[in-house]
């Protein structure tokens, strides 16, 4: 799979800028600037900033760098501690199958202590039918019900309280809000997970959620780029085809255009997008989709210099019917994703073996890995002060 030049330039810029501050919210003021030809130029950096980046990266072996770009689902505390101690993965995911006792009694601090660099603990707590810890922090209505029953300010206050509770459990990143724009029936794959079929409403409520979680100290991730709301199916069960890219411009892409500088990460969906992705290459492993997000010019947005996550690469047929987990993770990182997500720890070592081979063979450039490691550190708030 070829590398898009714009992605490489943007990543190189982040290598030089990620150590300029220690906050978790990326700033578009330091983003690369799109040129009229669709490329990008790197901002001016100092030798000190370059040395800072090199110094941070020097603490990792290549395998440990690659492990920082993985987030894997765990069954409980023992599973989490084992995969962290053996491979030093950068993130774990708390799913519906996870033993929630790991979130109480001080177990999470014990889990985090196994990591040599701060661990990212993720969850997808949207509310409604996608809620992993409602038994611990209380239920929340679906996004669609929220938009029908609360003002954006009320939703901000409600979300702030939930964010504080998530933080107290040891959660550091929530794979929310869902910014898909959809009027499909409530029980469809997106359905009531969408705030509205009006992109302006989606922007209002998603912005309130991101601000609230940020204040609570929990990172957020908008999903599913470039837009699942009008998709023709469910990526859990098979391929999903969206309307052509041109048709997404004034609807599905609006939330990303408006919120690209919010500090949230972005999750790319397993979506076949006519006019953007190549045949049989969904957006989550597509260099063209990553370039659209990074550069911004293709949909009228500022460049995105934050973290790009994939959707689950091991439990969704839109990917698994096409390739195995190791190939999927390699394809996603080569395409330009910063973090590959899947729902078990079983294949971590074999995935890392293949990624090391990909770097050695030149399929996955080392400077691209470094850029993603620095983006992850900045998103987690662990980049050094320089």
Q: Would you tell me how many other CB atoms lie within 10 Å of the CB of residue 157?
A: 12
Is it the case that residue 35 has pLDDT exceeding 90? no
**Alpha-carbon dihedral of residues 33, 39, 42, 43, nearest 10 degrees?**
-20
Mean pLDDT of 63-90: 98
Residue identified by tokens 């130029």 is 41
How many DSSP H helices and E strands does the chain contain?
16, 12
User: Which candidate, 199, 195, 161, 200, places its Cα nearest to that of 176?
Assistant: 195
Gap between the Cα atoms of 269 and 289, Å rounded: 10
Total residues belonging to the chain: 386
Q: Would you tell me how many other CB atoms lie within 10 Å of the CB of residue 321?
A: 10
Q: Which residues in 274-301 are b (16+ Cβ under 10 Å) and which e? A: eebbeeebbbbbbbbbbbbbbbbbbbeb
Cα 193 to Cα 213, 219, 317, distances in angstroms:
18, 19, 20
Query: What is the per-residue pLDDT across 139-178, written as a single tens digit (0 to 9) for each?
Result: 999 999 999 999 999 999 999 999 999 999 999 999 999 9
User: Which candidate, 210, 245, 239, 209, places its Cα nearest to that of 226?
Assistant: 245
pLDDT band at 332 (very low <50, low <70, confident <90, very high): very high
- Domains, the chain, ranges and CATH? 62-361 (3.20.20.300)
Is it the case that residue 357 has pLDDT exceeding 60? yes
pLDDT at 23: 37
Element (H, E) at 241: strand 240-241
Residues 277, 289 contacting (CB under 8 angstroms): yes
Is it the case that residue 32 has pLDDT exceeding 80? no
Query: What is the per-residue pLDDT across 250-304, written as a single tens digit (0 to 9) for each?
Result: 999 999 999 999 999 999 999 999 999 999 899 999 999 999 999 999 999 999 9
Average pLDDT, the chain: 89
Query: What is the per-residue pLDDT across 172-182, written as a single tens digit (0 to 9) for each?
Result: 999 999 999 99
DSSP 384: P
What Rg value do the Cα atoms of the chain yield, rounded? 19
Active-site residue set: 236, 311
Query: What is the per-residue pLDDT across 188-245, written as a single tens digit (0 to 9) for each?
Result: 999 999 999 999 999 999 999 999 999 999 999 999 999 999 888 777 767 899 999 9
Which pTM value belongs to this model?
A: 0.88
Q: What angle do CA 35, 36, 40 make, to 5 degrees?
A: 20
Omega within 30 of 0 (cis) for the link into 350:
no
Q: Percent helix, strand and coil across the chain, each rounded to 5?
A: 45, 10, 45
The distance in angstroms from the start CA to the end CA of the chain is 35
Gap between the Cα atoms of 375 and 100, Å rounded: 29
Is it the case that residue 76 has pLDDT exceeding 80? yes
User: Which candidate, 32, 29, 26, 27, places its Cα nearest to that of 13?
Assistant: 32
Looking at 137-210, which runs of residues are DSSP E strands? 173-174
Gap between the Cα atoms of 381 and 329, Å rounded: 24
Assigned token pair, 49 = 């900033």
Residues 78, 113 contacting (CB under 8 angstroms): no
Gap between the Cα atoms of 180 and 2, Å rounded: 29
Mean pLDDT of 130-147: 97
Residue identified by tokens 């990074």 is 294
pLDDT band at 383 (very low <50, low <70, confident <90, very high): confident
pLDDT at 39: 37
Residue scoring higher pLDDT (201 or 44):
201
pLDDT band at 48 (very low <50, low <70, confident <90, very high): low
pLDDT at 316: 83
């Amino acid at each position: 799979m070829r590398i898009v030049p714009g992605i490489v330039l943007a990543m190189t810029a982040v290598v030089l800028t990620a150590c300029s501050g220690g906050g978790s919210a990326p700033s578009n003021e330091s983003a690369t600037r799109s040129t009229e030809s669709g490329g990008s130029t790197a901002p001016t950096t100092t030798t000190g900033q370059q040395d800072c980046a090199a110094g941070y990266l020097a603490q990792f072996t290549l395998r440990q760098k690659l492990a920082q770009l993985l987030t894997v689902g765990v069954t409980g505390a023992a599973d989490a501690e084992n995969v962290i101690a053996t491979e030093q993965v950068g993130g774990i995911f708390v799913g519906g199958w996870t033993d929630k006792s790991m979130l109480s009694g001080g177990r999470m601090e014990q889990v985090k202590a196994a990591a040599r660099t701060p661990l990212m603990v993720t969850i997808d707590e949207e509310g409604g039918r996608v809620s992993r810890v409602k038994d611990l922090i209380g239920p929340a209505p679906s996004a669609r019900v929220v938009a029908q029953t609360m003002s954006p300010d009320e939703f901000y206050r409600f979300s702030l309280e939930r964010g504080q509770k998530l933080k107290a459990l040891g959660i550091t990143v929530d794979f929310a809000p869902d910014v898909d724009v959809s009027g499909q029936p409530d029980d469809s794959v997106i359905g009531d997970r969408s705030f509205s079929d009006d992109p302006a409403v989606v922007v209002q409520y998603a912005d309130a959620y991101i601000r609230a979680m940020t204040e609570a100290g929990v990172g957020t991730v908008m999903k599913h780029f470039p837009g699942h709301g009008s998709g023709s199916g469910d990526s859990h069960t098979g391929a999903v085809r969206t309307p052509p890219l041109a048709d997404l411009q004034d609807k599905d892409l609006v939330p990303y255009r408006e919120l690209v500088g919010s500090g949230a990460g972005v999750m790319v969906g397993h979506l076949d997008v006519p006019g953007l992705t190549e045949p049989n290459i969904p957006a989550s492993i597509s260099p063209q989709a990553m370039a659209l997000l990074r550069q911004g010019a293709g949909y009228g947005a500022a460049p995105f210099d934050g973290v790009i996550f994939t959707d689950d690469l091991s439990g969704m047929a839109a990917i698994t019917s096409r390739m195995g987990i190791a190939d999927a993770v390699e394809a996603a990182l080569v395409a330009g994703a910063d973090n590959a997500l899947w729902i078990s720890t079983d294949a971590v070592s074999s995935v890392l073996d293949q990624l090391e081979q990909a770097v050695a063979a030149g399929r996955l450039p080392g400077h691209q890995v470094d850029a993603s490691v620095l983006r992850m550190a900045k998103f987690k708030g662990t980049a050094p002060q320089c």
